[in-house]
Structure 1
Amino acid sequence: MARIDRGPYRTIWQDFDDLMAEMENRFQSMLGGIGARGEEIRGRVVPAVRDFRVDVRDHEDEVIVVADLPGVEKEDVAVRITDPLHLEIASTRTSETGEEGQDFFMRERIYGQMSRMVLLPAEVTEENAAASFKNGVLEVRLKKVPAEIGTTIPID
């Protein structure tokens, strides 16, 4: 079985998804696609993956999230802070017009809704948050919540 590189920001569910995809691929090759999930093209079943990969950096006073979204337009991407430790990225990738009726030999590119909840390494705030999208790469910069050090003691 493939080795999983467990970075410091991966969740157990991401590892589980990777293991399930690996098992699905092995069953597909063993059974020739019988009973596997996904789209069947000329007898080959392509697994339906509705996910994308991200990099998360804990950099000084900010958290930087970079996501690869090839073939997605800027207007079809939504980014939202759900709570101080989670960022949600959602996108829609539409099929090129006229492709539905074509006779594909193999089709691996996935179209439709994709979303990802990203666990952040530190609490962030929406103030001064910035996002850019260029050549299918989304970069989100989030300011960390300043940690208060020490406590104030009132004087009587």
Structure 2
Amino acid sequence: MVRRGGFHSFWRDFDEMMNEMRAEMEGRFQSLLTETGTGHYLPAIRGEGLRVDVCSHEDEIVVAADLPGADRENVSLRLVTPRLLEIAAIQKQEKEGEEEGYFMRERVYGSMKRTVSLPAEVTEEGASATFKNGVLEVHLKKVEVERGTLIPIE
């Protein structure tokens, strides 16, 4: 990058550099997909990722996640810490004989993963999860957490 001078020139140069970096990364990502045998398909979730709702009730946290196209057998949940829940899913593509004949192909396949921050500490004891019509709903029991240390009085 050659700096030509002036404040506006700096931002123009910066934008050019960012565009070059973006093009380079997209090229590397596309070649990685080709090398791994996944063809031209991108990961199932791009941008903001898997959509979730987190609701806090008096004694539980409810997390609802949209997992369109995923089967229940390909969904996994893991309580990473008392305040972090990991949701992972795989959307498998049905193998079709020919790639030709498609006018448009927007549906994507691959893996999705998201770690969700929870508004309170929870425990895996008593947790339950359901998966219906592509929507995962997880119920987690809140844990009473005492803050601080008791100091004995003499």
Q: By the TM > 0.5 criterion, same fold? A: yes
Q: CA deviation at 1:152?
A: 6.4
Q: Work out which of the residue numbers 138, 144, 147 in structure 1 matches 2:145.
A: 147
Summarize the alignment of residues 128-139 of structure 1 with structure 2, pairs less than 5 Å apart.
128-139=126-137
* 3-state SS of 1:56 partner: strand
Q: Which amino acid aligns with 2:109?
A: Y
Q: Which amino acid aligns with 2:122?
A: V
Whether 1:111 and 2:106 are equivalent positions in the alignment is no
Contact between 2:70 and 2:90, CA under 8 Å: does it hold in 1?
yes
Q: Could you tell me which residue of structure 2 aligns to residue 70 of structure 1?
A: 68
* 3-state SS of 2:73 partner: helix
Per-residue deviation, residues 67-122 of structure 1 (Å, max 9, x unmatched): 00111110000001000010000011001231662432222222111111111111
Q: Could you tell me which residue of structure 2 aligns to residue 11 of structure 1?
A: none
Per-residue deviation, residues 5-37 of structure 1 (Å, max 9, x unmatched): xxxxxxxxxxxxxxxxxxx9xx9xxxxxx9696
CA RMSD of aligned residues (A): 3.3
Distance 1:149 1:86, change over 3 A: closer
Q: CA deviation at 1:147?
A: 3.2
**How many residues matched?**
122
* TM-score of the pair, normalised by structure 2: 0.64
Q: CA deviation at 1:128?
A: 0.1
What runs of 5+ residues in structure 2 fail to find an aligned partner?
1-18, 34-39
Contact between 1:46 and 1:108, CA under 8 Å: does it hold in 2?
no
Distance 1:108 1:37 in 2: 18
Q: Work out which of the residue numbers 87, 90, 100 in structure 2 matches 1:89.
A: 87
Contact between 2:42 and 2:108, CA under 8 Å: does it hold in 1?
no
What runs of 5+ residues in structure 1 fail to find an aligned partner?
1-23, 28-33, 40-44
Structure with greater Cα Rg? 2
